[in-house]
Structures are given as C-alpha cells and as structure tokens.
Chains A and B, each alone.
Chain A
Amino acid sequence: MPINTCVARFAGLALLLFSAAAQAVPPIQQWTLANGARVYFVETHELPIVQLRVLFDAGAAREPAGKAGLARLTARMLREGAGPYDANQIAVALEDLGAELGNDASGELVEISLRSLAERKLRAPAVEVLRQMLLVPTFPEDGFQRERTRSLVALQKALQSPGEVAARAFYQGVYGAHPYARHSNGTEAGLKAIARGDLVEFYRRHYVGANAVLALVGDLSNDEARALAQRLLGDLPAGSAPPPLPPVPDRTRAERKTVKHPSSQTHILIGQPGMTRTDPDYFPLLVGNHILGGGGLVSRLSDEVREKRGLSYSVHSYFAPLRERGPFLMGLQTENRRRDEAEAVMRRTLSELIAQGPTASEVEAAKKNLAGGFPLRIDSNRKLADYAATIGFYNLSLGYLDEFIPRVEAVTAEQVRDALRRRLRADTMFTVVVGGDK
C-alpha cells in the first residue's frame, strides 16, 4: 500500500496545523556570582519542587595521566563525608527531608543534582548539606578505599556486557590519545594508582567558582533563587577554569577492532568524531541524523536493518555533541551468524545517504517531527533543568529554546546533503565488532 495514499485517507489528520511555534518558552534568568559561578534559573510555580544541578568541567577528560577513574571517584566521594558530617549523617539528613541527591561524572563533566520539595523548611536544610559537600568534602580514607574497590567491581562487571565492551573500545578507537577516549569508569591500573591525595588535589583544582555552572528550576522567586545560589556556591574559591581541550583531529584511515566475547549476539559500532555543541552544522546534522537513524522506529537504518530484514532489535545512529567534537556513531546487535549481513546493510545505508543525500520529503518529515515535538522537550521541571544545564555548560545562547523551532525549520535538503557529505567520511570510520562464534 503506497504510504502517501494512506496518509491522505486519514483526512482529518492532515488538516491540523502546527501550533507549537506559538508556545511560550519559559525564560531563563542568568547571573554570575562574584567567584565566577554562572547561574541559570527558570522560575516555575506549578509544582512545589526545586530541582538543581551543579556542573563542573571536571569529567574524565580532565584526569591527569595514569589516574583513569579519578573524576568519577572524586564526584562519588562527595557524599562520603563533608564538614562535620560522615556518610551516614549526610544520607540521613537529606533523606529525612525526602530530598534526592545525585553525584556522578561522565567523560566531559561532573554533575551534582538535588531535588527537594520547595517548602523552605525542607529545602533550606537540604541545600545546607549540599553546600558542605561542595565546599568542605573530607574524602575519608575508609570511604575512599571502599568506593575504589566498588569502582573496580563496576569495571569488572562491564566486561560481562558485549555492549559495554564495544562502547569502550569505540571511544578508544575513535579518540586515541585525545582525552575524550577516556571512560568515566576508569581503568584497573588507573584506579589502583589513585591515592586519597589525588582526590583532594583534583577537587581543589576543578571544583571552583570559575569552573561552575548552576542550573536551578522550580518554585522559587528570583530573590529566593539568588539567595540560594549565593549560599550554595558563593563561598567556593574563584579559581580558574581549566584550559580548553585540544581539538579532535580528523581520522585519516579506516580501522577495525574485533573482540571475542561469549555472547549469542554480535554488537557492532561504526563511527568517527562528530560535532561540537556549538557547531555551525548542528541543525543540518541533527536533521540528517534523524533521517539516518535518530528518529526512533522511523529512520533509514530502522527500515533497512529491522523492518525489512529483522536483523536487530535496536539499531540507531546519533551525534553526541560535546565542547570539542563528540562522537558520531551507528550501532546494532544481531545474532552472531548474521553479523556480516547486518554490518553490510548498515554501511550501505550510510553510504547511500551520504552519496545521494536525503529526499525532500524525508527532510520535511524529519523537520516536522523535530519542530512539532519541541514542546515535549521542555514539558517538565526535570527536562527544563537539563536544558538550563546544557545551555550553561556549553555557553549556548539564552534564547536557544526560542530559536530551536525556527532553526530546525530553516534547514534545507541541500544543507543536509552538504553537511553529511562534508562531515561524515564512511571511508575513514572506526569499526568495533564484539561477539561470539558464528
């Protein structure tokens, strides 16, 4: 059944016009504390909740040589002791209030998050505990030894999973000597080489005002938000932001890594350095990837690999933009005996899209999904906090959310074709294949 005929038969549907562009986007208020910490605040009063995220440029990319795993361990140790509190007291103090705490590091950043009821009597003491964690963590030796051991177990457990083995090999293969090659889980040698003093030093260097972003969303007045931000972060030393990371070099040749794993499926990842968060090609590549493998069940990869051939449950592609070029990758898993076919289909799908570009109707459909789905991206405090944090950390325009729909709608099929052709090099990609015997 031809698709267009069918769409037309659902006559009522085609008449609906998009009203999304008219949606009022909640404004982001921004200010900077004396120590350089940048605050991004979205005032929402519908729910009595305060959601905050503190970000530092202190992810695995900032680890000193030989200390892989230090960034995540430092972040996780914040809850082990702070000021007058030990780990139990921190946990009890926050959980008595019903507050939720998060503290973890990724490749590029560390994020400490708190969700609390907005009622001052509940919110203020939770902020005080978090303040102690950020200002005066004690990094107790016994907690350090235990958390390091738990990190080693996490590392070991990741080896069980063919998907995690593939992801790790992928980053190492694509980034080589660049800091983005590092996984926040670290390495066994790195974790074993870390001493308590390394945590203290890493914390002192990176957890400073000039390196901090605070995203704050919720049921607070502007005055309350200003007071909260000042109380939470105002006493951090100013310090300085670390120097920019080196740009990611282009790949010059194709490479392939095969890892044997006792699994019934083979996991395949193919990719290369992709784009930055402020990339001039950001929107054309967003639309282009949506067509290739970003649109959930509706994409070329999904059609070719899953719908037409039943080769994989999950097949996808994405750009993960970072300050420097984060990865572009496409991936799938299939039973071992069909892996050559699956890989060939995935490669062919990419090459055809790069060579011929998308059709006009594909570009229109992708833009309709991205623009029409925009309200879903900001429909909760949690999502707003994510955007505020992203806008802050990557120094995006405060009007980023207002500009999103027009910038998607301005993308042309020609721009997509051109961006994909310039930015994706099928002949120099890195491929990792992890799986068992056929």
Chain B
Amino acid sequence: MRIPRWLAGALCALLGACAHVHETTLDNGLKVVVKPDRRSPVVVSQLWYKVGSSDEPAGLTGISHVLEHMMFKGSERLAPGEFSRIIAEHGGRENAFTSKDYTAYYQQLEKSRLPVSFELEAERMRKLRLPDEEFQKEVKVVMEERRLRTDDRPEGLLYEQFMATAYQVHPYRNPIIGWMDDLKTLRVEELKDWYRRWYAPNNATLVVVGDVEPRAVFALANKYFGAIPRAAVAPTPAPVEPPQQAMRRTRVAAPAEVPSMLLGFHVPQFRTGREWEPYALEVLAGVLDGGSSARFARELVRERQIANSADADYGSVARHPSMFLVSATPARGRGVEELERALLAQIERLRTEPVSDAELARVKAQVVAGNVFNLDSLYYQAMQIGMLETSGVGWRLLDEYVEGIRKVSARQVQEVAQRYLVETNLTVAVLDPQPMSRRAPRSAPGANSHAH
C-alpha cells in the first residue's frame, strides 16, 4: 500500500473531521446531531424519521413514501406547496427521500436561514393536514413515479422481482414505492394513521452540517421543536427472514434490448453478527468491483470479454440483514448462462483462495482516499450521519470505519465468502428480453430510494 500508514491514521487529527460531531437529545426525545464544516457560509439540515417500507404491513406497501409526498401538501399554517415556496424564496433547495428503513426531508440554505428550515419542519412534524383532494392528486403522481422508475425500466422490474424472491417473509421483499395495486387502494385515513403513528420527535433525528455553532443549533432546535410532545411510537418487530435452504431462481420477461442478471446473498450488516464481518464484506466488494483494476472489470470485462458490465454492491448500513448483490450484463454475443457461471466462479475463487496483498492494499487505499473525498460534500456528510443513526448503527461508526477496514485480513475476506457467499444462500434473477414491438404482460417495480 502506497498510502503511508501514518497518513490514514492521522486523518482525523489532520482534518479535524472525526472529533467534530456533536449531539444532544431534547427532552421530547428528538436527537440532534451537528457537524460543523466552515468551508462555505452554507448549511444542510436533514430531518430523518425512523419509518420506511420495512415497517409496512401487507396491503399498505408504499404508504411511507406516499406520506413523504403528502408532507409538502399543507399543514395547519401552510397551504399545499407553501413549504416549498418559502424555502425557495430563502434561496434554498429542498427535497425528501424514502427508503426501506427511513424517510428523510432536507433543506440546503445560506447559513443564516437555518431557522426557516427548523420552523417549517417543526410545523409539519405534528400538524400535517392531509386533505383528501390533495391526496387524490398526489397518489397519481406517485403512480407516475412508479411507472417511470420501475414499470417502464426492465432493470427496475428485475430488481423488484429479485427482492420479492430473495426475501420470502421479511418486508424488505416489498418495493419502497409500493405495489401498484396497494397504491390504488390506499386511503387518506390510512395515511393519517401512519402519520400519527410515526411522526414524533422521539422517532426522529435532526442532522445539521455546515457553517454553524453546535450549541447555537441545539438552542435553535429546542426553540422550534422543543414544545412538540413526545408520542408513543411502538414499532412492530419485523418478521425474521428464515435462513434460506436452497438456491432460488426467478425470471422477468419484459420488452428489452439487452439481457441482464442479478445475483444476491443474504449477509449481515453493521451491528449484527460478528463485528468485523461487515468490514470484510466491504473489502470483498472492493476486490470484485473497486474500480477498473478490480477483478470484474479486469477479468470479466477486459480479459475474458464475457461481461459488458458487472457490479458488486453491499448494503452494510441497514436496520435488518441485507444483501450482497452482483448485477451484470453479458457481453455482446455471450449468454446469461455462461455469464452466471463466470460470476459464480469469481465467488468460488473468493472462498477457495485468499485475496492478494496487493488487492487488499489497493482496496484499503481507496477507502482511505474515499473517506477524505466524502468530506467535500456537506450533503453527503449529513446523509452518512442520518443513515447510520436511523439504521441503529450510530454516527460513531464514522470514526471507526477506516480503522475497521484497515484491520481486515485476507483470511477474513475468505471467511465471509465461505460463510455467506454459498449456493444455498443465493438468489438469481434473470431478465429475459421480449420483443420491443409488442407489449408483454407486466408484473410489478424498485430502486433503493425514492426522491419526492
């Protein structure tokens, strides 16, 4: 590894990056996390609620995301759309996003405008109106979003079917945006219940990154959110996904030009299983797909020319056990069957032989550099904190992360491959392209996060 060890180790001190997160919890349970970054006179404020598609019961899939849309549709003192208009007049940018484990709202503003963001967010935390006439229009917008992201995207359909196959019981099997039939039958009363049940200070985390003083932000948060009463929030424990016993396989037939496939294995995330395992899985993903020098690009795309593209993705930060995913497209003239064999041979090699020192060092160098590059974006820094908090991991992982990656050995990479990347734990989904000229019957949608 050419990055000197001292440099990586000293980055916290060098940048003042790690020690500078401040947190407090208001009396009503609202957690406030502040990370000063004084490079520019700006601030990003994100309010994260611990509710997402994995909290949704059958028949109500997509309700968290629809509620996210409705949060812009009026509250006690704000007309529909007025929230956005006020933020815009203050020079701000704003939006929201829903995922499996969380729903989050954000504003990016010149730093003196932070009170605007707090006042508006506090208003809609408990005083949303949810008028039926607005709901009737907005649920149509969400259906259009579903058509755009999933129904008309073969890769979207493939991901949706993959998740519904890999998970049989756990709600991660349902799309964040919801099944179309559930969207069609959703009623505004159900949204009202959902809102009352989850939107409370003690189920939220406020993350602020920018040119701010932590104590001033805490005081400001107390001023605007402090009076909102705590509410009884009782998450129903999600059903546990039973261990997979055999390989699962599914096909999606949809009008498409290019075949593709998804392979996935159930894996632990941070704070479950052994502490080092998520780090080892992160390194493993880097060995396969950490840039143009990694095995997929070098061996499958360039040397054997069997893949047009191949990517590995591991969701290490999640509330529930997640997936290690491989997505790939065959090279022109090559079939999905031989591509699948080649991908599984790559996995097999991880189980049988230790990764090289050079590969290990390269992945670690990329993590060290990437960790510094991440500091260039205020928004991304806030995202990291919010995701870690709402998944139950906690922002302190940021301080431990580089060291955790550095400690990973070739043996540990091999060990997680042997434990988790095995055939009985594998799900394969293949896109079977149908002619574009005639309409094939459609199943249903997927992506990882849906913006408002």
Which residue of the partner chain A has the closest CB to B299?
Answer: A88
B258 touches which of A91, A157, A311 (Cβ 8 Å): A157
CB of A96 closer than 8 Å to a CB of B? yes
Q: Which residue on chain B has the smallest CB distance to residue A10?
A: B119
Contact call B84/A379, Cβ cutoff below 8 A: no
B20-50 residues at the A interface, CB under 8 angstroms: 39-42
- Chain-A contact segment, one of B85-93, B194-202, B311-319: B85-93
User: For residue A375, which residues in chain B have a CB less than 8 angstroms away from its CB?
Assistant: 40-42, 91, 110
CB distance from B92 to the nearest CB of A (A): 7
Binary contact track B336-377/A, C-beta < 8 Å → 1, others 0? 000000000000000000000010011001101110110111
Contact residues in A for B86 (Cβ distance below 8 Å): 7, 10, 13
Give complex CA distance A311, B375 in Å.
39
Q: How far is the CA of A79 from the CA of B144 in the complex (A)?
A: 40
User: Which residues of A284-326 have CB atoms within 8 Å of chain B's CB atoms?
Assistant: 295-298, 303, 306-314
Tell me which residues across on chain A come within 8 A of B109, comparing CB atoms: 376
Task: Say which one of A46-54, A175-183, A206-214, A409-417 lies at the interface with B.
Answer: A46-54
Q: Is the CB of A47 within 8 A of B376?
A: yes
From known contacts A47-B375, A121-B4, infer whether A369 and B89 are also in contact, taking CB-CB under 8 Å: yes
A156 touches B258 (CB 8 A): yes
Query: When each residue 128-170 of chain A gets 1 if its CB lies under 8 Å from chain B and 0 otherwise, what string results?
Result: 0000000000000001001001101100110111100000000
Contact A264 B110 (CB under 8 A): no
Contact of A308 among B120, B137, B361, B365 (CB under 8 A): B137
Asked if B137 and A380 sit within 8 Å, CB to CB, the answer is: no
Q: How far is the CA of A13 from the CA of B112 in the complex (A)?
A: 10
B440 CB-CB contact with A under 8 Å: yes
Give complex CA distance A90, B298 in Å. 11
Contact, CB under 8 Å: B85 / A298:
yes
Closest beta carbon of chain B to A122's beta carbon, Å: 7
| A381 located at the interface, meaning its Cβ lies under 8 Å from any Cβ of chain B in the complex | yes
Find chain B residues with CB under 8 A from A438 CB.
Answer: none
Which stretch of A14-22, A66-74, A193-201, A241-249 is in the interface?
A14-22
For residue B93, which residues in chain A have a CB less than 8 angstroms away from its CB? 296, 373, 376
Q: Does B290 contact A (CB under 8 A)?
A: yes
Is B101 in the interface zone, CB < 8 Å from A? no
The digit string for A360-389, where 1 denotes a CB below 8 A from any CB of B, is 000001001111111110111110000000
Q: How many A-B residue pairs have CB under 8 A?
A: 266
| Residues of chain B contacted by A378 (CB below 8 angstroms) | 40
Point out the residues of chain A lying under 8 angstroms from B144, CB to CB: 265, 310-313, 333-335
Q: With A1-B79, A146-B305 known to touch, is A373 a contact of B373 (CB < 8 Å)?
A: no
Question: Cβ of B393 < 8 Å from any Cβ of A?
Answer: no
- Chain A residue contacts of B365, Cβ below 8 A: 95-98
Interface size class of A (residues with CB under 8 A): 35 or more
Residue of B nearest to A334 (CB): B144
Interface presence of A252 (CB below 8 A): no
Contact B372 A49 (CB under 8 A): yes
- Chain A positions 77-130 with a Cβ under 8 Å from a chain B Cβ: 79, 87-88, 90-92, 94-101, 115-117, 119, 121-122, 125
Find out whether the CB atom of B15 lies under 8 angstroms from the CB atom of A97. Answer: no
- The reply to whether the CB of B148 lies closer than 8 angstroms to some CB of chain A is yes
Once A47-B372, A153-B329 are accepted as A-B contacts, the answer to whether A310 and B138 lie under 8 Å apart by CB is yes
CB distance from B69 to the nearest CB of A (A): 10
Q: Is A262 an interface residue when CB atoms closer than 8 A count as contact?
A: yes
Is A261 interfacial (CB 8 A cutoff)? yes
Q: Is the CB of B235 closer than 8 A to any CB of chain A?
A: no
Interface flag for B411 (CB, 8 Å): no
Q: Contacts A92-B362, A146-B302; is A298 near B112 (CB within 8 Å)?
A: no
Complex Cα distance, B72 from A82, in Å, reads 53
**Central interface residue in A3, A98, A125, by most chain B CB within 10 Å:** A98
Partner of B15 from A48, A101, A263 at Cβ < 8 Å: A48
Query: Would you give the shortest CB distance from B380 to chain A, in whole angstroms?
Result: 9
A155 to chain B: closest residue by CB: B257
Q: Which residues of A are found within 8 Å of B84, using beta-carbon distances?
A: 296-298
CB-contacts of B365-400 with A (<8 A): 365-366, 368-370, 372-373, 375-378
Determine which of B81, B92, B120, B452 lies in contact with A373 in the assembled complex, contact meaning CB atoms within 8 Å.
Answer: B92
Residues of chain A within 8 A (CB-CB) of B369 are 97-100, 116-117, 122
Q: Is A23 an interface residue (CB 8 A)?
A: yes
Q: Which residue of B lies closest to A366 (CB)?
A: B88
Determine if B82 and A6 form an interchain contact, defined as CB atoms under 8 angstroms apart: yes
> Are A374 and B91 CB-contacts (below 8 A) given A10-B119, A117-B372, A149-B332?
yes
Would you call B419 an interface residue if the criterion is a C-beta within 8 Å of the partner chain's C-beta atoms? no
Q: Shortest CB–CB separation between residue A288 and chain B, in angstroms?
A: 16
With A95-B292, A308-B137 in contact, is A88–B302 under 8 Å at CB? yes
- B426: Cβ under 8 A from any A Cβ: no
B297 within 8 A of A: yes
When A96-B361, A98-B370 are in contact, do A46 and B39 touch as well, CB less than 8 Å? yes
| Contact residue among B74, B136, B143, B153 (Cβ-Cβ distance under 8 Å from A335) | B143
Residue B217, interface by CB 8 Å = no
**Nearest chain B CB to A363's CB is how many angstroms away?**
12
User: Is A381 in contact with B376, judged by CB distance below 8 angstroms?
Assistant: yes
- How many angstroms between the C-alpha atoms of A436 and B151 in the bound complex? 13
Distance of A281 from chain B, by nearest CB (Å)? 23
Q: Are A371 and B153 in contact (CB under 8 A)?
A: no
Alpha-carbon gap, A112 to B257, bound state (A): 30
Chain B residues contacting A376 (CB-CB under 8 Å) are: 42, 91, 93, 108-110
The proximity string for B residues 231-253 relative to A, scoring 1 for CB distances below 8 Å and 0 otherwise, is: 00000000000000000000000
B141 touches A365 (CB 8 A): no
CB distance from B146 to the nearest CB of A (A): 9
**Distance (Å) between the CB of A181 and the closest chain B CB?**
23
Q: Which residues of A contact B154 (CB under 8 A)?
A: 160
Query: What residues on B are CB-neighbors of A253 within 8 Å?
Result: none
Looking across the interface, which residue of chain B has its beta carbon closest to that of A17? Answer: B112
For the complex, is B13 an interface residue (Cβ under 8 Å from A)? no
> Which residues of A lie under 8 Å from residue B7 when comparing CB positions?
117, 119
Knowing A12-B119, A375-B42, say if A157 contacts B291 (CB, 8 Å): no
> Are B362 and A9 in contact (CB-based, < 8 A)?
no
CB distance from A302 to the nearest CB of B (A): 9
How far, in Å, is A259 (CB) from chain B's closest CB?
A: 11
| A382 cross-chain contacts in B, Cβ below 8 A | 376-377
Task: Report chain B residues within 8 Å CB of A261.
Answer: 436
Q: Which A residues touch B120, using CB under 8 A?
A: 10
Given contacts A19-B110, A117-B372, contact A369 B148 (CB under 8 A): no
- Which of A7, A87, A117 touches B82 (beta carbons < 8 Å)? A7
List of B residues within 8 angstroms of A79 by Cβ: 292
Chain B residues near A264 (CB, 8 Å)? 147, 151-152, 442
With beta carbons under 8 angstroms apart, the residue of A20, A162, A379 that contacts B378 is A379
B14 at the interface (CB under 8 A from A): yes
| Top 9 A-B residue pairs of the complex, sorted by shortest distance between their CB atoms | A372-B91, A98-B369, A310-B140, A310-B137, A91-B293, A91-B292, A379-B40, A373-B91, A313-B145
New A-B pairs, 13, CB < 8 Å, besides A117-B369, A309-B137, A312-B144: A1-B74, A6-B82, A20-B91, A88-B302, A95-B291, A97-B2, A97-B365, A98-B365, A159-B257, A297-B84, A303-B81, A310-B137, A373-B93
27 A-B contacts (beta carbon < 8 Å): A1-B82, A7-B85, A13-B86, A13-B115, A91-B297, A94-B291, A96-B2, A98-B370, A100-B369, A115-B373, A117-B372, A150-B332, A153-B308, A159-B436, A160-B154, A160-B255, A160-B436, A264-B152, A265-B147, A296-B93, A310-B138, A372-B89, A372-B92, A375-B42, A375-B91, A376-B93, A380-B378
Q: Chain A: residues with CB nearer than 8 A to chain B?
A: 1-3, 6-7, 9-10, 12-13, 16, 18-20, 23, 44, 46-49, 51, 79, 87-88, 90-92, 94-101, 115-117, 119, 121-122, 125, 143, 146, 149-150, 152-153, 156-157, 159-162, 261-265, 295-298, 303, 306-314, 333-335, 365, 368-376, 378-382, 436-437
